[in-house]
Structure 1
Amino acid sequence: MRNRSVPAALSFAAAAVLALTAAAVPAAATPPAAGGPAAGTAASPGAHCPQLSGKLHWYGDNRARLQRTIDERGRCRTPHPGPEGRPVAAFDWDNTVVKNDTTDATLAWALKHDKILRPASWSRTSKWLTPAADRALTEACGTSVPAGRPLRTSTNTRCTDEIFEIRAEAKTMSGRAAFAGAWNHRRTVPQYAWVPQLFAGRTPAQLTGYAKQARDEALAAPVGSKQTVGTHTIPGYIRYYPQQKDLIQTLRRAGFNVYIVSAGAEPVTDAWAGGVGVDSAHTIAIRSVLRHGRITTGTEGCGDTPAGQGEAIPYIDGKRCWINQDIYGVKGAAAWHRQRPAHRIALGGGDANTDVTFVGDATGAHLVLNRNQDEVMCRAYDDADGRWVINPMFIEPLPRRSTAYPCSTSGYTNPDGSLGPVLRQDGSVVPDQSDHVHGG
């Protein structure tokens, strides 16, 4: 895939300038993030900064709070901003910038159009695939199609079902575990890494083409519509959120470098991100290792984790690693750790536990769309630094969660997959939180 070893947004030298330009916070602003830009010096008024649309609905005072971050951190806040130190905003993609899942839509389209090539061995598609999953896929998809040729998934419902069930539930259709073994549960999840591995033998351009055709169908489908994949029923439509598109475009006009950081396959995210003005150079997602220009089952690594079979993808702590590595040029093991404020994003947006680490790293605003996921909502409702911005989903928002988030006991996923309490930066335990920002 693309070589991004050179930082795309700012060097460490330029970051020093950002540390100075980001230091001023208006007296009326919410408290700065712990360890974040120092308060005490009033920033220039935001009169020079682009404004978020007043015609698009945000929950409560969320628009004003996001605008405050733009006014505080944007290069627009002075008439003649310097050439260096552009602030950074980063967003998850699926269910954050768009409603519904673009990876599922692409895989569904590919299965309906016979675009998956039969592997010589299913067990080699993922280092964690279980013998039970290997047998289920081999029996369902058969061996009559030569290896390297397209499986007839458009007509073979059993094959389609096994592939999609493993992607969606990490189980076979008979309920057996599809993945087993050891992996860091804050750096990867095998069924996410498995999607680009399924497209081994295709080129990135081909996969982007499939994603574009799936995109066109999903955007044309009515809101609320469903589609059938094998015997699975999934959402049939996807929509760009107008509020997020406006936020991204306003940030860019205000001088921010805006990135998408997704746990989907990079060629798929590339197909969609242009719709909000984000180009491929600002898109970070799962990157396949290529051989002769074609996708393999290998994936690129991050920090001190080398290329492998999906050990380090943009997932929970992996999103922090990829941001630190690709945007700020942090190398080796340090890329997994929280950086100084000058080397962190100003605004982060997400919707799920997969986003909690990088969204929490933001020094200006942590935007979360409420999908009732434990760790991210524990941190959002705890609001330790006063900068968490919670919004219901803009389309088909979830109702109020009936039980409290179990922050004090099981809201946090440990690297070994076990659950534990959610801890603040100072080590104190986040108490259980009730859900009060919802759709009804």
Structure 2
Amino acid sequence: MSSATSSSVLRMAVSASDKRLRRHNMRRKTSSMVGCRGKDRRHHRMLSLFLRRGFSSGIQQIEKDGARILRIVKKRVDERALLTSQLSESLSTPADITRLKQLKESEPIQQAWDIWLKTRQALQETTALLEDPELRTMAEDDYTMLTTSLQDLVATTFPAILVPPSRTAHLSALMELKSGVGGSEASLFLGDMLRMYLRLAQTNRWKAAVVSSSDLDSGGMRDAVIEFRGAGAYDALRLESGVHRVQRVPATEQSGRTHTSTVAAVVLPLMEESDAQQEDLYRLEDVKIEVMRARGAGGQHVNKTESAVRLTHIPTGVTVSMQDERSQHQNKRRAFSVLASRLMAAKLAREMEERRASRRNLVSSADRSDKIRTYNYAQERVTDHRIGLSLMNLTSVMEGDGLQDFIVALQRNHDETELEELLQED
């Protein structure tokens, strides 16, 4: 889940809970001005006992159902309190800077936990209003409202915050489509899928461009590579990797038989090359800097001044020597530029190998048995086999709009899986 999504969920939770708590407090003030007016006290006590038991059962059930999530949230809150206690008075040490950063990152979980405690307290206070028959109707509304708040916190807000933000949320995507089983029909469906993803890009306001493609004389495409540029493109499309199966009657089929064909999709993160990324290529403390007298032609200046520079990147052993410029400063600047270029080239080579490994893992073969999704034209049905979701909206999916329903469902399932793994680790 992206950090923007978890922040949005928290803002909505804070807003909804604040409204409910304010409404509860207003009713509580009103109730303080209204007393019991001669009602049967014995009936009053019996009703009070019944309502108290009802409250206890309700909140206990919420805490029982969300026990594992609440335990992790409480653990995170306790860890945050420990960090706060470890801060020095000056707040100037390197450890303090690290702790302050961690405290900032853990603010959402603290805010959500504070809402939980306030709402739970308000729910407990509601029992006092439930004891008065004249205020029972109003108190029951509060009870329902506050109970809903607690349930929402456990079911939605806490999970959204606990699932770590996606490290690739800012990345664009590179998609490769390749026709598989089915001959010319597979190549025709590849063209249909290409149009589907291009229309999805328009809906999400990504900049899409077909980088390369191989057209066939039959009218289809053997393969295609598409760039989707825009924040969130990779996270949205990464779960499209796999084999897509189509079941339909080809236009060239004379007897009306349904054919089954496949197209393999591979989605990779599109890394942007920029000056900011160069800072990630090396740490200054990992670079050994040596200065020396320049050698070769150049007269007395070459021999008398230490203008030559040699850089050694200790982790990799990459060495750069520069003496072309007259000043040490200029040679150092050019040497660091060359070092960055060489390290970038090495990084790209590693990424290329990783992409090849990812491609082999994501699509071992375009066989029918590896399918992730089936497009059944006769039944107007699209089925994603990973999550068991079937929707009767094939036309909408192929237009790009309906595909968003599958992307959202897959992302939700992905987040739920991550949360379950987090709960199992605790």
TM-score (norm 1): 0.25
TM-score (ref. length: structure 2) = 0.26
Structure with max Cα Rg:
2
Higher relative contact order (CA 8 A, sep 6+): 1
Q: Which has the higher helix share?
A: 2
Answer 1 or 2: which has greater strand percent: 2
